[in-house]
Amino acid sequence: MLKHQLIHPKINEVLGRAGHHSTVLIADGNYPASTKRGPNAELVCLNLSPGIVTVAQVLNALLSAVPVDSINTMGIPPDDPYAQKGEPPVWEEYRAVIKGARLKLRLEPIQKWDFYEAVGAEDHVLTIQTGDQALWANVLLTLGCRTE
């Protein structure tokens, strides 16, 4: 019986095989998950319907289960047709999840095209596609080391 909040068997399987520096993408409902992922990445689809489940919900479950060294969001190019003024509101929700997990990590944006490149790397082991409809809601986690 698992004691953490993550109970999805496939996600637990992939995370159990992952190591330090492996990356996990929690993708929003607009992310092209079938084409923008690393050659070793598995895809788990949790997009039941629009808004279900959200990136923040998946982030909360993952942070209960694995050590994380860094958390990156997809940075917004100012000339992007979906650019908005200021930071996406969902990023504040992520900060609350990180704080609730008692982590001292900061959200660090990676510009959109560099983000796609980072996700395409060999260390990318998992994409979790959500139904999140928030714009710019993608989160890339870099896994850390277990020190306990």
The answer to whether residue 76 sits within a structural domain is yes
Does a structural domain hold residue 148? no
What is the count of structural domains for the chain?
1
pTM above 0.75, yes or no: yes
8-state DSSP, 44:
E
In a domain, 1, yes or no: no
pLDDT digits (tens, 9 = 90+) for 81-138: 888 888 999 999 999 999 999 999 999 999 999 999 999 999 999 999 999 999 999 9
For β-strands 68-75 and 107-111, DSSP reports them as parallel
Q: Taking the CB of residue 44, how many other CB atoms lie within 10 A of it?
A: 17
**Per-residue model confidence as pLDDT tens digits over 23-60:** 999 999 999 999 999 999 999 999 999 999 999 999 99
Write phi, then psi, for 123 (nearest 5 degrees): -75, -10
pLDDT at site 4:
86
Residue 75 within any structural domain of the chain: yes
- 24's enclosing H/E stretch is strand 23-27
Q: What is the CATH number of the domain that holds 34?
A: 3.40.1650.10
